Chain A
């Protein structure tokens, strides 16, 4: 725990507090600025993921061709698909890595937001032991938790939860390649719903500051994805296995 605090949690906390002071005492702006910084730091990973997505999109005609050809033989279809991915040097699960890498940052950010906002007297006192001696940091304390009508320390903001869930669904849909068989389609559909639903509910149970981070981070992700991959990806693409309206 001491190592975690020393290397990750305390630097994130102090940078967040310092940013808040620089940005006129606006903790919400500090979270947005930190989100941009985190995005810049994880850019190499994100770029790899986006290139992978783009490659998958470019392979789409070939995939559809394979689906037509081996539609009735699922085993063969999957074998051919994997072969195709291998030839193109694409890992369909590559998009998971940037998310996994961001988990420690989310945890550190959650701790930083909780500590920095010091909602209780104990947490304000506890904050004293975690702040650096920088004048900029100590002058910013205690932070103002109001931002655009949001109380960043409060939980249960339903609008923010919907924004987090909605933006995450859009980003997932842009990335998620269409399924190659009905069974996979079912799993994909659940995955597409599960993640936004989970993060939406997490936004309800965590302080709004963390929800703000998720929302901003996802919106930045959508924008970069749009420009790097050159469009909305699979967002508007209907699944070939989806029942059509009669």
Chain B
């Protein structure tokens, strides 16, 4: 009688240990990589860890590259290869596509090499591909979009540091000190103006760093709450959303904000996405489902529009048409040049029927939006209709 009970106990214990150790190493695939378009090709990271290039006219998948990472399986499962989650929107620079992954890799992929499906990384003359970390030193999740300026690529990492990489060869130019010591992670993208790089942190700081050396410059700004969005710079003013449900305008070099919006009662939720600025007006979307148009100089509200669903991705401006997509999958087009109609009333409203969390791009009157259903939707902005939509699943690729 005693022996079976002991065996049962041991079996329960071992089974639990196996389950615990196996589940520990699993990494969820997901992410909200947005779309980029260049020379008639749409580039997007998918929710199953691939970078896909699609011909914008024919919708043919030109190539795809599956980004995998090694995951430790704990006590009993051993290392396994899993797809990497991609949160960053690809950056296109001539023949190279740059993307960062949640597994801490930065990749530079050659469009020529990828279209021929050559082994990665190709490092021949004219097709120099690379990936980081080369030495495992930067193996921390990359959530924020990469930034590019001159010959350098700037990467904010979940280890709290900003890295500058040579964009051609991937060599490390410099790494900054840990900017967010409280949380140890940077999830917002830096912005570069001239020789200065500005980075916002989850613990409510904005730091100015030398873009050349990564050294902290004399100025930093401290707010009462953490910053939820990546900063945007316009002139000498940074615009950034905070967890205290306000948008801040901060003059570089100043220790006090120029204004905060709303001044009195906070908004209904966080300003998660970066705002855009056009002709002296800041267009800021909020997780409370509203689009706010605010005077850049004064912080006075011009108008607001309630979409009724959280707005996660930044708005896009093309030919004076402002495109906003909300989490319910509704796309709104606002005519900013309208003189005889109310700007706050959308010119067009289009439903794509799936949640939108990714940043998106627009070109030649078309917006290319990646939905959370892993499909790309092409929206004709002026006509206000979906022109096309196709899934990025493997089954549809050639």
Enumerate B241-262 residues with CB–CB distance to A below 8 Å.
243-245
B143 within 8 A of A: yes
In whole angstroms, what is the CA distance A155 to B16 when docked? 14
In whole angstroms, what is the CA distance A200 to B212 when docked? 51
Enumerate B127-184 residues with CB–CB distance to A below 8 Å.
143, 182-183
Contacts A125-B272, A201-B13, A201-B16; A142 near B226 (Cβ below 8 A):
yes
Partner of A142, one of B9, B243, B244: B243
Enumerate A160-218 residues with CB–CB distance to B below 8 Å.
186, 190, 193-194, 197-198, 201, 204-205
Chain B min CB distance to A201 (Å):
4
Partner of B268, one of A120, A133, A193: A133
Among B18-26, B297-305, B361-369, B390-398, the one that faces the other chain is: B18-26
In whole angstroms, what is the CA distance A126 to B226 when docked? 17
B114 within 8 A of A: no
Chain B min CB distance to A148 (Å):
16
A64 within 8 A of B: no
B192 within 8 A of A: no
Beta-carbon contact of A128 and B24 below 8 Å: no
How would you classify the secondary structure of chain A's contact residues: helix, strand, loop or mixed? helix
In whole angstroms, what is the CA distance A166 to B183 when docked? 31
Beta-carbon contact of A139 and B225 below 8 Å: yes
Which chain B positions have C-beta within 8 A of A133? 245, 266, 268
Beta-carbon contact of B20 and A205 below 8 Å: yes
Bitwise, B337-354 to A at CB < 8 A (1) or not (0) is 000000000000000000
A129 within 8 A of B: yes
Partner of B17, one of A139, A155, A190, A201: A201
Chain A min CB distance to B396 (Å):
25
Partner of A121, one of B13, B20, B23, B87: B87
Contacts A120-B28, A133-B268, A201-B20; A193 near B244 (Cβ below 8 A):
no
Which chain B positions have C-beta within 8 A of A25? 182
In whole angstroms, what is the CA distance A190 to B1 when docked? 12
In whole angstroms, what is the CA distance A193 to B12 when docked? 12
Which chain A positions have C-beta within 8 A of B1? 186
Which chain A positions have C-beta within 8 A of B74? 156
Chain B min CB distance to A131 (Å):
8
In whole angstroms, what is the CA distance A138 to B310 when docked? 17
Which chain B positions have C-beta within 8 A of A121? 32, 87, 143, 187
Which chain B positions have C-beta within 8 A of A139? 224-225, 243-244
Beta-carbon contact of A138 and B183 below 8 Å: no
In whole angstroms, what is the CA distance A121 to B101 when docked? 13
Contacts A128-B310, A142-B202; A197 near B13 (Cβ below 8 A):
yes
Which chain A positions have C-beta within 8 A of B87? 121
A122 within 8 A of B: yes
Q: Kindly report which residue of chain A lies nearest to residue B87, judged by CB atoms.
A: A121
Partner of B5, one of A141, A144, A156, A186: A186
Beta-carbon contact of B13 and A155 below 8 Å: no
A230 within 8 A of B: no
Chain B min CB distance to A164 (Å):
14
In whole angstroms, what is the CA distance A198 to B20 when docked? 12
Beta-carbon contact of B270 and A194 below 8 Å: no
Beta-carbon contact of A205 and B23 below 8 Å: yes
B124 within 8 A of A: no
A149 within 8 A of B: no
Which size class do B's interface residues fall under?
35 or more
Which chain A positions have C-beta within 8 A of B268? 133
In whole angstroms, what is the CA distance A205 to B1 when docked? 31
Beta-carbon contact of A204 and B226 below 8 Å: no
A135 within 8 A of B: yes
Chain A min CB distance to B124 (Å):
36
Chain B min CB distance to A170 (Å):
19
Which chain B positions have C-beta within 8 A of A120? 28
| Most chain A CB within a 10 A radius of its CB, from B74, B87, B226 | B226
Enumerate B80-101 residues with CB–CB distance to A below 8 Å.
87
Beta-carbon contact of A135 and B310 below 8 Å: no
Which chain B positions have C-beta within 8 A of A144? 182-183
In whole angstroms, what is the CA distance A194 to B16 when docked? 12
In whole angstroms, what is the CA distance A138 to B270 when docked? 9
In whole angstroms, what is the CA distance A138 to B74 when docked? 36
Chain B min CB distance to A163 (Å):
17
Beta-carbon contact of B9 and A197 below 8 Å: yes
In whole angstroms, what is the CA distance A133 to B202 when docked? 18
Q: Kindly report which residue of chain B lies nearest to residue A139, judged by CB atoms.
A: B225
Beta-carbon contact of A128 and B287 below 8 Å: yes
Bitwise, B49-92 to A at CB < 8 A (1) or not (0) is 00000000000000000000000001000000000000100000
B357 within 8 A of A: yes
Partner of A138, one of B16, B143, B187, B245: B245
In whole angstroms, what is the CA distance A35 to B211 when docked? 47
B389 within 8 A of A: no
Beta-carbon contact of A138 and B17 below 8 Å: no
Beta-carbon contact of B183 and A205 below 8 Å: no
Which chain A positions have C-beta within 8 A of B5? 186, 190
Chain B min CB distance to A144 (Å):
5
Which chain A positions have C-beta within 8 A of B30? 122
Beta-carbon contact of B310 and A129 below 8 Å: yes
Chain A min CB distance to B186 (Å):
12
19 contacts between A and B (CB under 8 A): A25-B182, A121-B187, A129-B269, A133-B266, A138-B244, A138-B266, A139-B225, A139-B244, A144-B182, A144-B183, A155-B20, A186-B5, A190-B5, A190-B9, A194-B12, A197-B9, A197-B12, A205-B23, A205-B24
- Taking A128-B270, A197-B13, A205-B24 as known contacts, 13 extra A-B pairs with beta carbons closer than 8 A to each other, sorted by chain A number, are A125-B357, A128-B310, A135-B244, A138-B244, A139-B224, A141-B225, A156-B74, A186-B2, A186-B5, A190-B9, A197-B12, A201-B16, A205-B19
